[in-house]
């Protein structure tokens, strides 16, 4: 009897020791720690950084303080294999060569403003015409090309807080604009992006993220067989310079109808459609059916071979669906891969393009004492 008690006590002690060592090793291997490495130097000698956010299930998102750029993002396929599912470059030097906004934060005004001009409170403002006659994505040095101040947020759901203050007059826009963007990698394999901004003069703001997704996990492929759902019953037809005409056109009965899941290839080359012709494919803003400012599902993308599913939720009223039509095989990205035509798709949650010139569109005006605040979530799963 005595011997049995002794054995039990020894076993209990051993169990305690092994539990403690398990806990310790879990802490040592804590994959929630945020790693920071150099991402290379800017021409003026400033260092840029690359932060790695990891969650417990193994998803890894790498973000640079240069442009607040999401550089890589691994997601599991239906066999549990994690692969990079976004376009990007190996170091900051790649981004300086003029890549089309891969993974970047876009501002102060995402998308186009007609003729690079708008009038606010009776004053006309002129912007750089960096896209034909129009202004695109914040100008010559938009938020995608500036160095943000980064603060890691450790925890089970690790994050990166990025702040940047755009000066009054920077890129032609009025008001000192203080911007804060927080990326949070959540337990459920989603990346949440919280945007906030305040100004000291009336201005216009439309912030988004410009990640190019390719759910194949093989970035040397196109996105044509991806199946897309857009919870939007209208879209904004554009003129030949891609400025909305002002019409909100029902998607019913044309190739812009993604209310039910559909392969991108089904309509993207239908050049009998004048809008497909104008965009060289899909490069349009869809108006979400649910116009409330709540976080609602805007889009879902499914890639049948890998089984990967990406859902996009947003508080914004619209989403620009761009199918990488201007990618032309001249950019060499991560690991030497050449990004061919339509090798990535963007789902840029936002307000409507050219809103500063189109008073019927929901307003993008931000006044002093107001706070601009939006949230978008990109969530991965498998089917
Ligand atoms: C625009 C495209 C543009 C791309 C990269 C997208 O948001 O809609 O027209 O080519 O960004 O610049």
Residue 2, pLDDT > 60, answer no
Q: What is the whole-number distance in angstroms between the Cα of residue 162 and the centre of ligand 1?
A: 23
Q: Which two tokens stand for residue 62?
A: 């790498």
CA distance 17 to 7: 15
Q: 298 in helix, strand or coil?
A: strand
Q: Which of 137, 210, 226, 284 is catalytic?
A: 210
CA distance 41 to 365: 35
Pocket test for ligand 1, best of 67, 107, 137, 282 (most atoms within 8 A of CB): 137
- Give the CA diameter of the chain: 95
Residue 8, pLDDT > 50, answer no
Q: Among this protein's residues, is 370 annotated catalytic?
A: no
Q: 145 in helix, strand or coil?
A: helix
Q: How confident is the model at residue 23 (pLDDT cuts 50, 70, 90)?
A: very low
Q: Are 278 and 235 in contact (CB under 8 A)?
A: no
Per-residue pLDDT, 7: 42
Per-residue pLDDT, 30: 52
Helix (H) or strand (E) holding 7: helix 2-28
Per-residue pLDDT, 25: 30
Locate the ligand 1 atom nearest the alpha carbon of residue 110 and give its number: 7
Residue 133, pLDDT > 50, answer yes
Q: What is the whole-number distance in angstroms between the Cα of residue 212 and the centre of ligand 1?
A: 11
Which of 356, 282, 352, 359 lies closest to 316, judged by CA? 352
Q: Across residues 221-245, what is the average pLDDT?
A: 98
**Atom 10 in ligand 1: residue holding the nearest Cα:** 326
Q: Which two tokens stand for residue 296?
A: 């609602």
261-300 residue pLDDT tens: 999 999 999 999 999 999 999 999 999 999 999 999 999 9
Per-residue pLDDT, 33: 80
Share of the chain above pLDDT 90, in %: 91
* Residue length of the chain: 383
Q: Among this protein's residues, is 348 annotated catalytic?
A: yes
Pocket test for ligand 1, best of 100, 207, 284, 319 (most atoms within 8 A of CB): 100
0.85 surpassed by pTM: yes
Q: Are 317 and 288 in contact (CB under 8 A)?
A: yes
CA distance 119 to 51: 39
Q: Across residues 124-153, what is the average pLDDT?
A: 98
Q: What angle do CA 265, 306, 225 make, to 5 degrees?
A: 5
Q: Across residues 12-18, what is the average pLDDT?
A: 37
Pocket test for ligand 1, best of 346, 351, 353 (most atoms within 8 A of CB): 346
Q: 344 in helix, strand or coil?
A: coil
CA distance 202 to 369: 10
Q: How confident is the model at residue 18 (pLDDT cuts 50, 70, 90)?
A: very low
End-to-end alpha carbon distance in the chain: 56
Q: Which of 137, 171, 348, 351 is catalytic?
A: 348
Question: Mean of the per-residue pLDDT values for the chain?
Answer: 93
Residue 12, pLDDT > 80, answer no
Q: Across residues 252-265, what is the average pLDDT?
A: 97
Q: Across residues 242-258, what is the average pLDDT?
A: 97
Q: Which two tokens stand for residue 74?
A: 């691994």
* Tokens 């393009």, located at residue: 353
CA distance 138 to 238: 19
Q: Which residues line ligand 1 (CB under 6 A)?
A: 100-101, 242, 283, 320, 322, 326, 346, 348
CA distance 170 to 35: 32
Q: Across residues 163-169, what is the average pLDDT?
A: 98
CA distance 51 to 182: 13
Q: Are 182 and 153 in contact (CB under 8 A)?
A: yes
Q: Across residues 13-28, what is the average pLDDT?
A: 34
Q: Would you list the DSSP string of 243-281?
A: -B-S--EE-TTSTT--SS-EEGGGTTT-TTSHHHHHHTS
Q: How confident is the model at residue 121 (pLDDT cuts 50, 70, 90)?
A: very high
Residue 109, pLDDT > 90, answer yes
**Atom 7 in ligand 1: residue holding the nearest Cα:** 111
Q: What is the whole-number distance in angstroms between the Cα of residue 242 and the centre of ligand 1?
A: 10
76-85 residue pLDDT tens: 999 999 999 9
Per-residue pLDDT, 297: 98
Q: What is the whole-number distance in angstroms between the Cα of residue 321 and the centre of ligand 1?
A: 9
Which of 214, 209, 191 lies closest to 85, judged by CA? 214
């Amino acid at each position: 009897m005595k011997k049995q008690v002794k054995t039990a006590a020894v076993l209990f002690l051993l169990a305690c020791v092994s539990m403690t060592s398990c806990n310790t090793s879990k802490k040592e291997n804590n994959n929630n720690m945020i790693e920071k490495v150099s991402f290379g130097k800017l021409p003026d000698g400033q260092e840029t950084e690359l932060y790695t956010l990891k969650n417990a299930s193994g998803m890894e998102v790498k973000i640079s303080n240069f442009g607040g750029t999401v550089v890589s993002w691994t997601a599991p396929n239906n066999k549990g294999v994690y692969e990079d599912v976004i376009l990007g470059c190996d170091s900051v030097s790649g981004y300086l060569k003029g890549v089309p906004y891969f993974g970047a934060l876009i501002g102060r005004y995402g998308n186009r403003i007609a003729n690079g001009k708008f009038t606010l409170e009776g004053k006309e403002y002129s912007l750089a015409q960096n896209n034909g006659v129009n202004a695109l994505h914040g100008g010559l040095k938009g938020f995608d090309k500036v160095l943000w101040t980064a603060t890691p947020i450790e925890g089970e759901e690790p994050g990166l807080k990025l702040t940047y203050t755009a000066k009054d007059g920077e890129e032609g826009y009025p008001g000192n604009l203080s911007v804060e963007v927080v990326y949070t990698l959540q337990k459920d394999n989603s990346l949440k992006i919280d945007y906030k901004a305040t100004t000291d003069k009336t201005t216009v703001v439309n912030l988004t993220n410009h990640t190019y997704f390719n759910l194949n996990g093989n970035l040397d492929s196109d996105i044509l067989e991806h199946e897309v759902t857009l919870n939007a019953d209208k879209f904004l037809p554009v003129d030949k310079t891609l400025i909305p005409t002002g019409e909100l056109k029902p998607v019913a009965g044309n190739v812009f109808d993604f209310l039910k899941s559909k392969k991108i290839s089904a309509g993207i080359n239908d050049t009998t459609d004048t809008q497909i012709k104008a965009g060289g494919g899909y490069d349009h803003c869809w108006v979400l059916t649910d116009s409330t400012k709540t976080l609602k599902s805007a889009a879902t993308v499914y890639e049948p071979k890998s089984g990967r599913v990406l859902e996009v939720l947003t508080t914004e009223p619209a989403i620009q669906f761009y199918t990488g039509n201007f990618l032309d095989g001249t950019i060499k990205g991560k690991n030497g891969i050449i990004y061919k035509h339509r090798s990535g798709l963007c789902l840029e949650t936002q307000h409507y393009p050219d809103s500063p010139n189109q008073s019927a569109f929901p307003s993008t005006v931000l006044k002093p004492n107001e706070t601009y605040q939006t949230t978008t979530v990109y969530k991965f799963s498998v089917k």
